[in-house]
Structure formats: C-alpha cells, structure tokens
Amino acid sequence: MAEKKNAIDFEALLEKINADFPVYQALDQEGKVVNEDLIPELTDEELVELMTRMVWSRVLDQRSTALNRQGRLGFYAPTAGQEASQLASHFAFEKEDVLLPGYRDVPQLVQHGLPLSEAFLWSRGHVAGNLYADDLQALPPQIIIGAQYVQAAGVALGLKKRKKKNVVFTYTGDGGSSQGDFYEAINFAGAYHANAVFYIQNNGFAISTPREKQTAAATLAQKAVAAGIPGIQVDGMDPLAMYTVSKMAREWAANGNGPVLIEALTYRYGPHTLSGDDPTRYRTKDMDDEWQQKDPLVRFRNYLTEKGLWSEEKEEQVIEQTKEEIKQAIADADRAPKQKVSDFLKNMYEVQPQNIKEQIEIYEAKESK
C-alpha cells in the first residue's frame, strides 16, 4: 500500500509567512537612494532639522554617559546607534499625538516637549522629573519592560472614543516583544481599532539575550499577524525609511483603521544601561564593526552633503550648541530642591492615616534642623 502523502506541509506554511516581511529601506549604508518610493516629501529645512536632532541625540548620549560616570546622573540607557529609529520616527508625529516612551526613549520625549533639565531629574529619581506640563502629551518613561504598550492601548482607545484624529505611539525593544504585555496590548488595540503605532526597536539583544533565542519567529513584525494588524519591518538605521513608514502608519491609525506594528532593525553601540552591563561579554568586535558601517548619522550625513544641505562646519555648530544646552540643563537640575522623606510620605497618600501623619511630623522635625 502506497504511503499516504501529508495533507498539510507545515514547513511550507512557515516559509510563506516569513516571506511576507521584507525589510523596507530608502538609503543604503553609503547614503545612496535605493528606493525612490520611500523618499519622503520633506523640505530642505525639514531634512536639516531632522539631521540636527539626530546629531543632538548623539551628543546627548555622549554627555549623559560622561555625567553618569561623574555621579551627576542616575539611571541611563545609552541611545547611540538608534537615532534614526528614535528621532526619525518621532519626526513623523504631531505635538498633539501622545508619546509613551520606554526608558531608552528620552530623546523623543525631550523633542516632544519635556525640558532637558526635567529629563535629567527623572534620571536622578527626582519627583520633579515626572511633573509634566498640561500641554505635554506624554507619560514618563516606563521602567517595566513592555508595560508602556498596555498603557498605549488604553490611551489609544480613549482617543478613539473621543473621536480624536491624534494617535498614541510607543516604543519597546526586542526583549519587550517577548513580554505578555506586548501581545495583550496589540491584541486589545487591534480588536478595538484603536489609534496606535507600536514600535519594536530591535537592537539585537534584550540586555544580553540574543533576539534569536527569544522567539522562533523569523521577524518580530510578523507577531502582528496574530493580532490581526499590519506589521512591517524597516531598516532602523535609515532615517528616511523610518520617517516615511512612520508617517504612513500614523495616517492609517489616525483615520480609524486601527494600529500598526513597526519593527526597526537597529543597534545600540553602548551597553544596555550604565548600571553594570558589559556588552563585550555577549557581542563580538566583528558584530560591532558591521553595525558601525551602518551608522545612521554617517548615512544621512552623506545623503545631505550630496544635496548640498550639510557640512562639517554645520555639524560642529550643532555639537557646540548641544553641549551648551546640556551644560545649562544640568545646572538647572542641580538647583532643584533636595527631596525630603516627609514629601515622599505626603505624595504617597491623598488621605493620610494617623500613623503616616505621625511619621511626617517626625521627619519634618528632623528636616527642619
């Protein structure tokens, strides 16, 4: 009797799914155009502004690292290498859109309107770093991995119920896409067609865990399929591709079509955080060198220089201006009043029980001396 042929080819099913998620790219690593369809209609002034923000972010990363080593900053997650995935994506949104950042997304938060001095205070754990102005459409950076996704889904549904044309946009890393909050959020937002754009900044490692050890999925973008929403994979070192895809995703969500999931293929040149991580223990020099060749600043610099819009002198000017901005911001942060234990207790309780009132009195007496 002839052997019966399997009615279902599971390997073919996987191949079909994996083939649906190409990497979208506008500029190659030399800054040459490889896809005209992804070149956005930005003015020369807007292109220069985007490059200015990216250079600003690289300098901010360098200075923040130095300030942390000096003991003048607290928690810090390096951002060098992710300027395109962060700032070019943010460039596609409006001030009225709501940003829900993770702890590595301080550059977007500052560009969205948070004073840099308050960002420094947040890093120090000062309550003043979380007291946002009423017109700042953002929440403080989320420390819990992936929790900002769930918050974003709720805020996005709120915008939809109020018939707002604005959207929520949020970021996590490849490690965040392995969290339960990640799927719950995209599933909830998809079910309600909420106004959200979700980003996975796939920098290859969740602290030290390689992406390929986190999931069997060939891409992280294809995780959107289970939630019934569009998923797309983008060269996260390419600022023009990041902007174009982000702009299109924002329009899709704002028009009531539901959320979009964007996987940005990027790389962090520094450690996961400055709290003890050593990337040389899990990344090779060859890997670092390969990604250095894809540096988003080099790529965009070459593109703008060819168009006559950028120069070494212009970049030096931006660098010096950024250093002065950082110097002023850290001085402003230094002038913030020191926190008191009595204030912590007052902030914790709207209605203070008797034992807390007694503790407040004790600490106020000590603090007045």
Active site residues: 268, 272, 282
Backbone angles phi, psi at 314, to 5 degrees: -60, -45
Instruction: List strand residue ranges (DSSP E) for the chain, in order.
Output: 23-24, 98-100, 168-173, 196-202, 205-206, 209-210, 231-235, 260-265
CA–CA gap between residue 8 and residue 223 (Å, rounded): 22
Please name the residues in contact with 73: beta carbons below 8 A apart, sequence gap of 6 or more.
Answer: 64, 67, 120, 123, 124
Please name the residues in contact with 338: beta carbons below 8 A apart, sequence gap of 6 or more.
Answer: none
CA–CA gap between residue 145 and residue 25 (Å, rounded): 28
Please name the residues in contact with 74: beta carbons below 8 A apart, sequence gap of 6 or more.
Answer: 68, 123, 124, 125
CA distances from 179 to 16, 22, 182, 209, 337 (A): 25, 24, 5, 14, 37
Could you tell me the two tokens for 250?
């924002």
Q: In what order do the strands lie in the sheet with 98-100?
A: 23-24, 231-235, 260-265, 196-202, 168-173, 98-100
Nearest to 204, CA basis, from 177, 226, 222: 177
SS3 264: strand
SS3 31: coil
Could you tell me the two tokens for 69?
């080593």
